[in-house]
Amino acid sequence: MTSTPVAAVSDIWTGLARLPGHPAAHLGRGAAARLGAALAGLGAERILVVHGRTSYQRSGAHEFVSALPARHTVEHFDGVRPNPDIEQIRAGIAAFRRFRPQAVLGIGGGSSLDVAKAIAVLAAQRESPEECLRHPGALTEDRRCALVLMPTTAGSGSEMTRFATVYADGRKHSLDVAGARADLVIVDQDLTASLPLRECVATGLDALSQSIESYWSVSATTASRALALDALDRLMPALARALDTGSFTDPRVRTGMAHGASLAGAAIDVTRTTAAHALSYDLTMRLGLAHGTAVALHLPWLLRRHAAVTEADCRHPRGAAAVRDAVAVVENRAHGHAGRGVRQLTEQLLALAGQPTGIGELRLPVDPWSGLMTAALSSGRAANNPCVLTEADVLRLLH
């Protein structure tokens, strides 16, 4: 399957890449050294760097910030924690308004990039961040600074999307606005070299799930399906090699993961995710499971469910046969690139990371989890799913 705008995406991973409708991006080994030139090109000398407490140093990203020319004035907001909550966003906005940067530079995993986006967008608004997250109509002001994103993990794809996840009062909210799309992205696979095994698995499974969910989404287009398949063509062999060697240290693995994750992010920027993500959030919030792990636990049973979809329970505009074909395409890709099906690939990766390999291992009680999961099925992400899922599906899952 090809599409004129993205047919050449497999050839873009050197130099400055431009996918239509997505941020310009410096991609490939050594891209992080372009940070100074990138900021100069944006006319930004006052830089608010948004990052977490450990990954910034561990990845080596701090070296590129330290090497910025003396004309740059840098302030750090290092209060990012996983699954960012509204308190982090408020603190970041306060730091932004004190410092008044010309650019926000987000460095880290998906949480750091999401916080950077949220700060850059929400600091310009008249209403409170809570009001803006709950009521998108409150977002009336344009972003007033440049936004540059540099991931140190390969999985969230957040660098390529126009949305960010923030939790308020224990509930997940999505900031989804054009201003959250970066002006420039820098993807350097070497920044992922020190990522611990468990995080490599979780982020890799997140990217894998994003690619599959985007491919079967009811919102998929010819272009987004091409992006999703190109992502799978990079992610699956990289994940299989990581399994075979028990490590993500091989440069070929890191390259495939970094490039595949960005392509997956570009795909979900068009389509958004589906039920696997919708059902994952409570597992993360209530059990503390890594986001990618929580998503991956739902992926195998959803593949089986979608393979059995009928016209009666199909909501995909191309019909039930197209959904079943999508599952077949994904499974054939997995066997061809990874030598195993998606379920086996997912379970073996979770086992490698010492994580539960199936929902049943969590021993979730029917009450309250059936109610929580049923509520998740009424979300926008679930409505994007190609198959209508019901409480009966959830109860079978819990039993």
Tens digits of residue pLDDT in 10-32: 334 445 566 667 888 888 999 99
Q: State the average pLDDT over residues 173-183.
A: 95
Report the distance separating Cα 388 and Cα 306, nearest Å: 9
Please enumerate, as own/partner, the contacts of 348-352 that have beta carbons within 8 Å and a separation of 24 or more.
348/243, 349/201, 349/204, 349/205, 349/239, 349/242, 349/243, 349/296, 350/201, 350/205, 350/293, 350/296, 350/297, 352/197, 352/201, 352/242, 352/243, 352/246
* 339: enclosing H helix or E strand: none
Are 268 and 157 in contact by the 8 Å Cβ rule? The answer is yes
Distance of CA 240 to the CA centre of its chain: 20
What tokens does 204 get? 């890799």
Q: What is the pLDDT of residue 17?
A: 60
Report the distance separating Cα 245 and Cα 236, nearest Å: 14
Cβ neighbours for 368, distance < 8 A, ≥ 6 positions apart: none
CA distances from 66 to 220, 287, 386 (A): 42, 37, 47
The candidate with the shortest Cα–Cα distance to 146, out of 187, 100, 105, 88, is 105
What does the angle CA 84 – CA 88 – CA 90 come to, to the nearest 5 degrees?
130
Q: State the average pLDDT over residues 88-113.
A: 97
Percent of the chain beyond pLDDT 70? Answer: 95
The pTM for the full model equals 0.93
Q: What is the pLDDT of residues 249-300, one digit of tens each?
A: 999 999 999 999 999 999 999 999 999 999 999 999 899 999 999 999 999 9
Please classify residue 84 by burial: count the beta carbons closer than 10 Å to its beta carbon, then call 0-12 exposed, 13-18 middle and 19+ buried.
buried
Report the distance separating Cα 205 and Cα 271, nearest Å: 18
Q: Check whether 197 has a pLDDT greater than 70.
A: yes
Distance of CA 276 to the CA centre of its chain: 13
Q: What is the pLDDT of residue 344?
A: 98
Phi, psi (degrees; rounded to nearest 5) at 19: -95, 130
Q: What is the pLDDT of residue 361?
A: 94
Cβ neighbours for 263, distance < 8 A, ≥ 6 positions apart: 9, 157, 160, 211, 227, 228, 230, 231, 234
Q: Check whether 348 has a pLDDT greater than 50.
A: yes
Describe the crossing of helices 222-245 and 251-271 by its angle, rounded to 10 degrees: 150
Q: State the average pLDDT over residues 352-364.
A: 95
* 100: enclosing H helix or E strand: none
Q: Which domains does the chain have, with CATH numbers?
A: 9-191 (3.40.50.1970), 196-398 (1.20.1090.10)
Q: State the average pLDDT over residues 25-51.
A: 94
* 264: enclosing H helix or E strand: helix 251-271
CA distances from 40 to 63, 64, 80, 148, 191 (A): 18, 14, 26, 12, 22
Torsion of CA 328, 333, 336, 341, to 10 degrees: -60
The candidate with the shortest Cα–Cα distance to 349, out of 239, 211, 209, 203, is 239
Confidence of residue 399 (pLDDT cuts 50, 70, 90): confident
What tokens does 90 get? 């408020």
Please classify residue 382 by burial: count the beta carbons closer than 10 Å to its beta carbon, then call 0-12 exposed, 13-18 middle and 19+ buried.
buried
The candidate with the shortest Cα–Cα distance to 119, out of 151, 91, 139, 158, is 91
Q: What is the pLDDT of residues 303-345, one digit of tens each?
A: 999 999 999 999 999 999 999 999 999 999 999 999 999 999 9
pLDDT averaged over every residue in the chain? 93
What tokens does 52 get? 């977490």
Distance of CA 221 to the CA centre of its chain: 19
Report the distance separating Cα 369 and Cα 348, nearest Å: 26
Are 58 and 199 in contact by the 8 Å Cβ rule? The answer is no
